[in-house]
Structure 1
C-alpha cells in the first residue's frame, strides 16, 4: 500500500505562495543570509590580518570554509531568489559538490595552520571548548561528504535505501553539520584572540551574525523535507 506521506516544500497546495508579503520576506531572508555569510567571512579575514602569523590564516580558512562555502553550497538549492536561480538542478548539484570540496580543503588548511602555530609556540592542543568543537565539526564534515558520495553512487556501492530516503538522510545530516559548525563559529567569539580584537557592542553583533544564516538554512531544509499528508481532491 503506498504511503500517505511525501516530502515536499511546506506550503505547497496550501495557498502560501499567493501571499506576496510571505514570498518577499522569504526572498529577503535568503538574500540576507548570502550577504551575512559573505560579510562575516570578509570581516573576519580583515580582523585576522592574514600573513602576520601562522595563526592569522586559521580564522580566514575556517570562515571561508563554513561561513561562505558551506552556506552557499546549501543556499543554492533554495526555492527563493538566489544568485544561482537561473541554473538547472544538475548544475546546482555540481556546484554543491564544488562548494563542499572547497569546505574540506579550506577547513583542512585552517587546521594545518592551527597545528603549525601551536607547535611553533609550543602550546598544548585541544585545551578549549572551541578546539574540541572544531575537531568534531571537521570530523562530521568528512562523514557528511562520505554520505554525499553514497548519494552520488548508490548502485556502485550497492545501497539498499531508495534515492528519496538517501536524500532525506543527506539533508538531515547536512543540517546537523551546519548547526554544529555554527556553534563552533559562535564559540570562536569567546576566544582570547577574538575578544581582544572585537569589544563592546560590536562583539554582541558578531555573536548574533552566524545565527541568522543558520535559521535560514534550517528553514530551507525542514521545508523541503518535512513530511505532510497528501491532499486528495
Structure 2
C-alpha cells in the first residue's frame, strides 16, 4: 500500500481521485491548497503526489519545489486545465513525473499512478531545473506528448531527429527545443538541405578558405560554424 496526496481545490476532483486511489488499495490524503499540501507532506511523507497547477495562493508548480526542499524526491503528477507548452515544460523541468490535462480519463490516471508508484519504490527521481518557456499550443493527447518530448530532450546534448509530414511544424519544434536548452543564448541556424546543390553542399555546410577551389575568391563560414554554441536545424534531409 502506498500513500497518495491529492491536491486540488475542486472537491469533485479530489473525491474522484481519492476513490480511485482507495480502490487500488492505497492510503489517500486530500489537500485543497498548496500550503496545506506542504504541511501534510511534512507530517506524513507521501509516496506519490497528484497536484493541480492552478490553486488558491501558491500555485502547484511552485509547491513542487517546496515539496522537494522539505521531503526530497517524490513523484508528482501534475493535473491542469491548461495544456500548453509552457505548462508542460515547466512541469517537466521542475521534476514532475508526468502531467495530465483536464478533463482526464480515470483509466489514464490509473496507469500513470501505477507507474509513479513503481518509480517511487525505485527511488530514482531527480527534479529538473526550471526554465522559462513560451511557444507551441495544443490540447490533444498527441500534442501533450510532443510537449513532454520537447521538455525532456531540450536538456540533452544529443542530436534529435524530428520526423513528420510536411507542414506539421518540425521547425517550430526545433525552435522550441533550442529555446528551452542550455544553448538558447546561441544562434538557431536553419538550413534547407534540399536547396543545396550537390557540388556546393560541403562548402555551404563546413565553409572554406580563400582559394580552396577555383571560384573561392574569399573565405566562407559554413553553417556548422555559424551555429557554434547554438542549434543547427537541417530541414528536408
Greater percentage in helix: 1
User: What TM-score comes out, normalization by structure 1 length?
Assistant: 0.24
Which of the pair has the greater relative contact order for Cα pairs under 8 Å at 6+ separation? 1
* Bigger radius of gyration among the two: 2
Greater percentage in strand: 2
